[in-house]
Structure 1
């Protein structure tokens, strides 16, 4: 018996008796039991010396090389000699291969870790390891319990954002003939917006009662440690935070505010084009040519690009003047948001806010005035962002990862499985398993 071959195999409690090569190139490894404790009855623990017979099993293990490796375990069946033991016979078993197991414990663990830590789908892990899909999924659920059961570190800034689970489902109303939504499935994610813990948990839905599920199941001491809650401009989320986390300061990040301003510019462009030209925009229209350059900030445009856009819109007369007025309102809003993380004093912030309100009020553009009214309603939360500098950018990044995971798996049918997958994927960094390149 070559001990080095047994060490190479690495199955504790089993020894390699011989290795043979079959006609198709498959290597067959014959194993025997090397652990003396395998003679102990699993029920009463009595060691026995009476052999009833021999049994052969073929447990599957981790791949070894490019060629297949069959493992044949020649183990014995024993009579139990315990006087009060109800078990009469038993077969040998070791820690890696329990009685009745068809795969080794390390193969099951490796299958679960591939899905949990390596970003592999269940189907791909099953193909690579030669296992059935249900076996890999059960192994992943077991491995995922370690992630969900792990204690979380204190969270100072909490990010809350929603992501849709699958596509929206529609059904045609037989009476009206109109298509109506049947199920609009959403998940609300709770993210460590300042640390590296990633996704802390998820709740089904995005209504205030759904959002309150996670704070209600979080210990009171941990909830009191949350100082900021970063959200998008959602009244439902704001109401839920004021109820579930009344001590936390609600923060609206600059991304959603600027995004709202960009939508305002596009709305103004479409409305003015339709009103003055009586049609949609075309490629030869100056406002259509400048539509891409209206969205980036001024600092992202070269002098030549800015001059081309400004001159083209100035020549467009009424449409161009309206668009440049809306664009200037967006830029003044960005100047105000740029005060975040700069330790700007409240007098400068107030002066920039006054300039924004004055410009929007004097613009005479309905969309610009609607924007400034929205900013005024959310000014407390926007001012909190300027003062603290926290945003829900990490929530947006995690939403992107969630969508990539769902796309790689071609969708999920089980919401619990989706939550477990996304929780494991978005917490790799905190667990020391970075995202594979």
Structure 2
């Protein structure tokens, strides 16, 4: 056992001890805030109801699992009308309600999930000794708040396979950012028309020549200019050049 000297472990807490074994590093810490704000009503309280110990996992160190033994307190809400009555304090930047991981480990796992998705991301977490399942990574990604929405001026329309060869849908992509903005469940003109009608700021619809895309983009996006996408332009140009060369070869 190696004892600390009250150094800051995070804003609102201090670490008191570190225990190192062959596989685990256990860091003992406690909270130091004099009072805390109720997450329900926002009232501050300094009246302590009790305390307990949490064990959030942190990022591994030198190949060892790091677990924080954090003593936190439960406060009595100062507002008698608040339905919570009591609440547990959180350490900013370290814990969150019901969290089993530190915010640092959580953000790292989210970054891995965003970069590699489920299966590959799970293999990567195993490599740096913070093993989680692919479903956990997907749940962490799914819990992220939606990004701020901005008006899309140029939207690309194409199909995507939900089940290759059997079930297809329509994807809408913001051409400026190259990010998908919506997944429509099918390739029907009515579905596409409804999806475009929800976005009145669209000025240009970039699509291929599929008839359901043509009809859907024309029906409810009359204000938008329709253009062929880059791939089909190059594909058609290549076909035209090939036919032109074949014509010259036959004439010769």
Q: Structure 1 length normalisation: TM-score?
A: 0.45
Q: Which residue of 1 aligns with 2:215?
A: 239
The answer on 1:230 being equivalent to 2:209 is no
Structure 2 unaligned spans of 5+? none
Asked whether the equivalents of residues 203 and 213 of structure 1 are also in contact (C-alpha less than 8 Å), the reply is no
The answer to whether 1:190 aligns with 2:172 is yes
Shift of residue 72, structure 1, vs aligned partner: 0.8
**Structure 2: distance between partners of 1:31 and 1:206:** 56
SS at match of 1:62: strand
Contact 1:258 1:330 in 2 (8 A): no
For 1:207 and 1:81, locate their aligned partners in 2 and report how far apart those are by CA, in whole Å: 54
Contact 2:193 2:221 in 1 (8 A): no
Q: How does 1:23-102 map to 2 (within 5 A)?
A: 24-38=22-36, 45-48=44-47, 52=50, 54-76=51-73, 80=76, 84=80, 91-95=88-92, 96-98=94-96, 100-102=98-100
Alpha-carbon distance in structure 1 between the residues aligned to 2:39 and 2:174: 46
Cross-structure match for 1:159: 156
* C-alpha contact (below 8 Å) 1:14/1:33 kept by paired residues: yes
SS in 2 for 1:20: strand
Matched, 1:255 2:231: no
2:19 is aligned to 20
Provide the residue aligned with 2:185 in structure 1.
Answer: 204
Structure 2 SS opposite 1:250: strand
Matched, 1:122 2:118: yes
Report if the CA contact (8 A) 1:111-1:126 is conserved. no
Alpha-carbon shift at residue 48 of structure 1 (Å): 1.9
| CA deviation string 1:88-142 (max 9, x = no partner) | 76554323324543223343333333323xx222344455133454443232112
- State the SS of the aligned residue for 1:94: coil
Query: Do the aligned partners of 1:233 and 1:256 also contact (CA within 8 Å) in 2?
Result: no
1:265 matched residue in structure 2: none
SS at match of 2:157: strand
CA RMSD of aligned residues (A): 3.5
Q: How does 1:320-331 map to 2 (within 5 A)?
A: 327=242, 329-331=243-245
Bigger Rg over Cα: 1
Q: Find the aligned partners of 1:241 and 1:87 in 2 and give their Cα distance.
A: 51
**Larger RCO (alpha carbons 8 Å, 6+ apart):** 1
Cα deviation, residue 55, structure 1: 2.4
Residue aligned with 2:109, SS: helix
* The one of 182, 197, 201 aligned to 1:216: 197
Aligned residues: 234
CA drift at 1:31:
0.5
TM-score (norm 2): 0.73
> What is the rounded CA distance, in whole Å, between the counterparts of 1:187 and 1:2 in structure 2?
60
- CA deviations 1:278-331 (Å, max 9, x no partner) are xxxxxxxxxxxxxxxxxxx6xxxxxxxxxxxxxxxxxxxxxxxxxxxxx5x344
1:31/1:73 contact within 8 Å kept: yes
Which structure has more helix as a fraction of its residues? 1
The reply on whether 1:146 has 2:126 as its aligned counterpart is no
